[in-house]
Structure 1
Amino acid sequence: MTPELVSTTSVAQPTLRGQRWLSATMFINAWRTTEFRIGFFVFFGLIVLSVLGPSLFGVSPTKISVTDKFLPPIGFEGGNWAHVLGTDQLGRDLFARSLIGLRNALMIGLISVVGMFLLGSAIGMIAGYVGGWVDLILMRITDAQMAIPVIILAITILGVSRPTPFSIVCVLILAGWPAYARTARSVMLSERRKEYVRAAKILGASDLRIMIVHIAPNILPPIAFVAVLEVARMMIIEAILGFIGIGIQPPTPTFGTIIADGTKYLMNAWWITTVPGLLLAISLCGINLMGGALERARNKLLQGVS
């Protein structure tokens, strides 16, 4: 092996291992904080509850019982242990309906963020690595997409057809990928001229391998906490879509549809809107705790490295 290849190999491998070490260290440092652990266990607990809760408690979220309508939660006069969090205007159990709504919100939030990350990162990495007219065209498309509000885009697409979980996820991905593309492009622009990239080229690595194996690990730390917080934003948007009637359609319960139904009975049945609202708020708090801890861990790590 020539001296040049020996030197480039020594540059490429430690740098790649170092970048992966930074990513792993960021998550480890975040996990050591009480804030992240509380947020994680709250979020993970809600995921388990939303998946297993309805079947474990054996309460139907769609069963109508006229004799049980407007039952308050346990602890209030008229509460019933058969419906611990009360019932709505049709006698449907709010606990079961809220858990199904939580499941739908989590599913749409998580899948849409993964889709945004994959699509946005791919576009941003290609734009930053190739440069030239490819970068110009992709970034102008990104700017145009970012100029369209999510709600306007959702009304335009979902308003002409029956909304389904798949179509809602596609709309959210279409609306959210530009932010990830911008971040991925900025990382790519700063990394593509570094020594380890040049070393990988000399060693014969293809452009695709350089982007995926060598540079992609650098994109995870700046995007990780953004992606976590983005799950919370997608859950809120999903609830808004359901509230205005272009989310998942009845009889499938969602946070938005439950709250929209309850607004008609705020004075005498406040729990119809309060129960799903509190469950959504707890979910968002858990996600925000994790996102904030990841951001602080990354900032401390970068300060230590610099």
Structure 2
Amino acid sequence: MSIAVPIPADERKGVSVSRRIWRAAFASYEFRIGLVIFAVLVLAALLYPWLSGINPTKMNVAGRLQAPWFLGDVWNWAAPLGTDQIGRDMLVRSLVGLRYSLLIGCSTVVLMLIVGCSLGTIAGYYGGKIDLVLMRITDAQLSIPMIILAITVLGVSRPTIPAIILVLGLSSWPVYARVTRSVVMTERKQEYVRAAQVSGASDFRIMALLLAPLVLPPIIFISVLDVARMMIFESVLGFIGLGVQPPTPTFGNIIADGRKYLLNAWWIATMPGVFLCLTLTSINLMGASLERARNRIHGGA
């Protein structure tokens, strides 16, 4: 038999806080500019390589080291951003690299949210020895630098996409666990939680239906900014040879290949860097707008 979980009026207002934050953020020009840039980049990454029909890994030695269109006399329709040392199209390679970077960044943050919020909710709700054990595990995880852990694990195993997501995600969840725990510890003492317990609702239903929605506003902007942070870490790993392995193009390994040609073919390393910079800028604009919107809403509450 299903037990209905009572949700009072005040709590329904709390559940809608995240929607109010999104609306307030969307009203700012910063958020809109970031959203437009991000949407254009994502659409280009998804559509252009497919529409152009260009294979990002296919070599064309006869067309190697072609300069971008703005350095030539005429528009180069075949390779508008030039080619690399073995004739591969830099525009297509940069956009495909953006695909992988976004895939790894977003998937890593989702994993961080699932692990961190789950453990933080359990620790905050039950307290006592469960809270003590989980928080000591969190402290131990926080004491290990993420990049050191990633290098150690990926250095002794094959750095596939799932492995990179798993390593980055499982090394970065403690922040979410601590934020979630603090929110849940405050809310578990409220009357609506006690009413749900008295009515016979299970602990899982209380945590999933009452407490989990309240966790979203404090972490909503953290997760957006963490996508950018994980993209940077993925690029760093690719640059040092511990990211997605060639011939699959990613920002890190493209820049690493291009550093040898900075004097006579600087665009090989620069173009993926420009795309990465634009993507990070758009994400940071949206994340900063969300943070300011959250502060305004909570400050006026």
Q: Could you say which TM-score interval applies, normalised by the shorter chain? A: over 0.9
Q: Deviations over 1:147-166 (max 9, x none)?
A: 11122111211111211100
2:183 equivalent in structure 1: 187
Counterpart among 70, 81, 85 of residue 85 in structure 1: 81
Alignment partners' CA distance in 2, 1:196 and 1:242 = 49
Alignment partners' CA distance in 2, 1:199 and 1:25 = 27
Counterpart among 18, 35, 44 of residue 40 in structure 1: 35
1:284 equivalent in structure 2: 280
Is this contact kept in 1: 2:116–2:173, CA < 8 A? yes
Alignment partners' CA distance in 2, 1:23 and 1:105 = 27
Q: TM-score, normalised by structure 1?
A: 0.94
Once the two structures are TM-superposed, the CA of residue 16 in structure 1 deviates from its matched residue by 2.4
The runs of at least 4 aligned residues of structure 1 exceeding 6 Å deviation read none
Specify the SS of the correspondent of 2:247.
coil
2:119 equivalent in structure 1: 123
Once the two structures are TM-superposed, the CA of residue 81 in structure 1 deviates from its matched residue by 2.4
Compare 36-45 and 246-255 and name the one that shifted more. Answer: 36-45
Counterpart among 21, 28, 34 of residue 26 in structure 1: 21
1:205 equivalent in structure 2: 201
1:229 equivalent in structure 2: 225
Once the two structures are TM-superposed, the CA of residue 77 in structure 1 deviates from its matched residue by 3.0
Alignment partners' CA distance in 2, 1:295 and 1:226 = 8
Name the Cα RMSD after superposition. Answer: 1.5
Counterpart among 51, 73, 86 of residue 68 in structure 2: 73
Residue identity in the other structure for 2:37: V
1:16 equivalent in structure 2: 11
Alignment partners' CA distance in 2, 1:53 and 1:118 = 33
Is this contact kept in 2: 1:127–1:139, CA < 8 A? yes
Once the two structures are TM-superposed, the CA of residue 80 in structure 1 deviates from its matched residue by 2.9
2:243 equivalent in structure 1: 247
Is this contact kept in 1: 2:94–2:271, CA < 8 A? yes
Once the two structures are TM-superposed, the CA of residue 203 in structure 1 deviates from its matched residue by 2.2
Residue identity in the other structure for 2:231: M
Compare 149-158 and 167-176 and name the one that shifted more. Answer: 149-158
Q: How many aligned residue pairs are there?
A: 297
Is this contact kept in 1: 2:98–2:251, CA < 8 A? yes
Specify the SS of the correspondent of 2:286.
helix
Compare 86-95 and 36-45 and name the one that shifted more. Answer: 36-45
Compare 55-64 and 237-246 and name the one that shifted more. Answer: 55-64
Compare 219-228 and 191-200 and name the one that shifted more. Answer: 191-200
Compare 200-209 and 125-134 and name the one that shifted more. Answer: 200-209
Alignment partners' CA distance in 2, 1:135 and 1:27 = 32
Tell me, yes or no, if structure 1 residue 95 matches structure 2 residue 77. Answer: no
Q: TM-score, normalised by structure 2?
A: 0.95
1:55 equivalent in structure 2: 50
Aligned-residue sequence identity (percent) comes to 55
Structure 1 unmatched ranges of 5 or more? 1-8
Once the two structures are TM-superposed, the CA of residue 83 in structure 1 deviates from its matched residue by 0.5
Tell me, yes or no, if structure 1 residue 108 matches structure 2 residue 104. Answer: yes
Tell me, yes or no, if structure 1 residue 262 matches structure 2 residue 229. Answer: no
Once the two structures are TM-superposed, the CA of residue 205 in structure 1 deviates from its matched residue by 1.6
Alignment partners' CA distance in 1, 2:26 and 2:202 = 36
